[in-house]
Structure 1
């Protein structure tokens, strides 16, 4: 069991079938994160707990510290002070690759896909697998057939029906399909936590719905999801809990059942504060 002091957690408004998620210890915790950029305070003592099998949305106005918080958790930034824990053990990521190796995958708003490459190659980007035996070890030949097969299995497991041909170039896909490829890559290699930064930005209604369905499916498979979004209807549809950033600090954590969108936005802008 973790010795980290858990943050106060009210599950009064969590649906009964979801309450077991919060009986376990958090898979990811941040305590008293502080980071400054000159005279600008990026984070001012922020705490966060993330549980397996939940979608934790992070919302806030521009400059509230959403992206800074996520970058401190995923190794893009090193906080000036504070601690990050994964599975109860302290971690200190010096670069995003460290977080990836620990099981934390991030899908950024600017999709890191290579349009000229096919879907399978994008899923295995920077993780290419070599053919077994001397062909791989000596001649360093890639196992293209195996990667294509395993890529298809990963996409099928997510229930993505709009992508069938793993040899199809990504540049021929729609925006929603490209996002699906990025999410599938994160799900395939993110063994513990998947962070999604504005996954439905610039997508149409149908494509956004497809991405949100994938987010829910990842959650139901037991992964822990952090969802950063400015789209409040999407947040209230997909999130189990909502972490609200304001002026570099956490203004509170609510649920879609305990507060409606108007109340959430009021807390986000400072027009209302949480009393508990």
Structure 2
């Protein structure tokens, strides 16, 4: 599904490289994501997707290359660095505590302390402020969530994704990275996640979506960037290629130039 992306680059990677000993996991990876755009990051196992995500999210520091956020070059050496420049990552395991409720998970490690300085010093939290902001974050996604006192383990897969996405955008993220968000979900819950992605992208958030599901990519993404053996080998508009074309790019059976030539014939 193609939406009109704002003519403003949110994230730009230039010649990003990362090695682990003699293994070159990323080789000069370059691409851009505009604000309000959803870009699929595709590649076979071992293509470098996970390493790239870890470099953008601050888990690994790249060995070379440049990362720009909103036109400014940034150094991302830790997850905190990524968050400070407006990058949030929703990992496949969602990084939530099942026994905690929705509000506690939304504010995990970012709790709002009580307004009273003495109570704040004693570790008291401003529960009312946290619940108010949590409701605002969930409502922003037009998501159907039960009581905010509900434990995460009692939610459906789609609802858990909604909480994870709400947590990401709640902190003013300009860029949200989503790692296989529908991998363990059924058809209905996957559709809910697609809608959540559409909602946040329509609000100007740039989304980098990692997925093996070609149907999900076709339905949700504006563009697809393909990694092959650590290199970015293709950057295509999703509405100009078929699912079979994407698979051919992922496996290395065809190049972007070959596919363009076939479509032009």
Q: Distance in 1 between matches of 2:172 and 2:146?
A: 22
Q: Distance in 1 between matches of 2:123 and 2:215?
A: 48
- Maintained 8 Å contact 1:100/1:190: no
Structure 2 regions of 5+ residues with no counterpart?
Answer: 261-265
User: Counterpart of 1:64?
Assistant: 47
1:98 aligns with 2:81: yes
Which of 78, 81, 88 lines up with 2:71 in the alignment? 88
Change (3 A) 1:135 1:145: farther
Q: Distance in 2 between matches of 1:121 and 1:222?
A: 27
User: Counterpart of 1:167?
Assistant: 149
| Structure 1 outlier segments of 4+, above 6 Å | none
- Maintained 8 Å contact 1:116/1:169: yes
Q: Distance in 2 between matches of 1:104 and 1:111?
A: 15
1:214 aligns with 2:179: no
1:137 deviation in Å? 3.5
Which of 108, 113, 135 lines up with 1:130 in the alignment? 113
User: Counterpart of 2:263?
Assistant: none
- Maintained 8 Å contact 1:130/1:142: yes
User: Counterpart of 1:48?
Assistant: 31
- Maintained 8 Å contact 1:28/1:84: yes
Q: Distance in 1 between matches of 2:127 and 2:141?
A: 21
Q: Which moved more, 1:231-240 or 1:68-77?
A: 68-77
Q: Distance in 2 between matches of 1:272 and 1:157?
A: 41
TM-score by length of structure 1 reads 0.89
User: Counterpart of 1:184?
Assistant: 166
1:139 deviation in Å? 3.2
Change (3 A) 1:211 1:80: same
Q: Distance in 2 between matches of 1:53 and 1:108?
A: 20
Q: Distance in 1 between matches of 2:139 and 2:157?
A: 19
- Maintained 8 Å contact 2:141/2:162: no
Task: State the Cα deviation string for residues 221-242 of structure 1 (Å, max 9, x = none).
Answer: 1101110001110011000110
- Maintained 8 Å contact 1:46/1:249: yes
User: Counterpart of 1:7?
Assistant: none
1:239 aligns with 2:221: yes
Task: State the Cα deviation string for residues 7-45 of structure 1 (Å, max 9, x = none).
Answer: xxxxxxx96x62x62x33x11111111111122110011
User: Counterpart of 1:3?
Assistant: none
User: SS of the residue aligned with 2:165?
Assistant: helix
Structure 1 regions of 5+ residues with no counterpart?
Answer: 1-13
TM-score by length of structure 2 reads 0.93
